[in-house]
């Protein structure tokens, strides 16, 4: 009897099992977090705590995906990419997170610029106007640039498919788009984090 396993007979993990594992891991992490830190304390006491949590989470996930996208974009540019299908998928995920971060950012912006003396915008304009007039305004427009850049990258990757790999300037274009999207993301993320530390909404 042959005791060696034939690699062809090994079953791959199903998508359902992968989703289940991820759900269990996230659920466990949330349970531990909520058991050790009250939900209201985690979100903060400000009126914009919930949109701030959503915006921050989307931006963080976008940063995570964008960093991998930057690396795969570089691999594509130099023509040494194996995970081309992963880059295709990642570009769509990046565009989705860009969109969600912008939507949540709009929601949070309502609290940021509320016409009351204690809103972050009012406080900044009264104390350090440069924070709003330069850094926040640059951030709010620069962040929007990530959407057309990531959508454009995803479109080219899916529309051309593997043709890109044999066409250098298409590869360079996608790499440039991923790189620029990462740049505007980091600018917006960094300035947003700084503003939040100075005055949470």
For tokens 């985690």, name the residue. Answer: 42
Q: Could you give the residue ranges of the DSSP H alpha helices within 78-167?
A: 84-112, 120-127, 129-130, 137-160
Q: Which stretch binds other proteins (CB under 8 A): 20-28, 53-61, 62-70, 153-161?
A: 153-161
Among 7, 12, 14, 38, binds other proteins (CB under 8 A): 7
186 binds other proteins (CB under 8 A): no
Of 25-33, 53-61, 65-73, 129-137, the segment contacting other proteins by CB under 8 A is 129-137
113 makes contact with other proteins (CB under 8 A): yes
The count of residues interacting with other proteins (CB under 8 A) is: 41
Beta carbons of 91 and 143 less than 8 angstroms apart: no
Sole residue written with tokens 């042959």? 2
| CA 142 – CA 100 distance, rounded (Å) | 15
Distances (CA, A) of 67 to 9, 73, 119, 176, 188: 36, 10, 33, 14, 14
The contact set with other proteins (CB under 8 A) reads 7, 81-85, 102, 106-107, 109-110, 113-114, 133-134, 137-138, 140-142, 144-145, 148-149, 151-152, 155-156, 159-163, 165, 169-170, 172-173, 176-177, 180
């Amino acid at each position: 009897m042959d005791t060696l396993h034939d690699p062809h007979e090994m079953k791959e993990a199903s998508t359902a099992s992968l989703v289940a594992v991820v759900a269990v891991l996230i659920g466990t992490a949330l349970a531990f977090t909520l058991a050790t830190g009250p939900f209201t304390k985690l979100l903060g006491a400000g009126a914009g705590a919930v949109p701030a949590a959503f915006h921050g989470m989307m931006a963080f996930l976008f940063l995570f995906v964008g960093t991998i996208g930057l690396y795969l974009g570089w691999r594509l540019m130099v023509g040494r990419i194996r995970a081309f299908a992963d880059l295709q998928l990642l570009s769509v995920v990046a565009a989705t997170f860009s969109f969600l971060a912008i939507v949540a950012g709009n929601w949070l912006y309502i609290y940021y610029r509320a016409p009351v003396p204690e809103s972050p915008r009012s406080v900044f304009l009264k104390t350090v106007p440069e924070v709003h007039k330069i850094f926040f305004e640059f951030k709010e427009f620069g962040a929007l640039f990530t959407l057309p850049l990531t959508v454009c990258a995803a479109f080219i990757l899916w529309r051309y498919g593997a043709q890109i790999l044999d066409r250098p300037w298409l590869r360079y274009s996608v790499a440039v788009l991923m790189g620029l999207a990462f740049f505007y993301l980091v600018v917006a993320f960094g300035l947003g984090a700084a503003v939040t530390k100075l005055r949470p909404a």
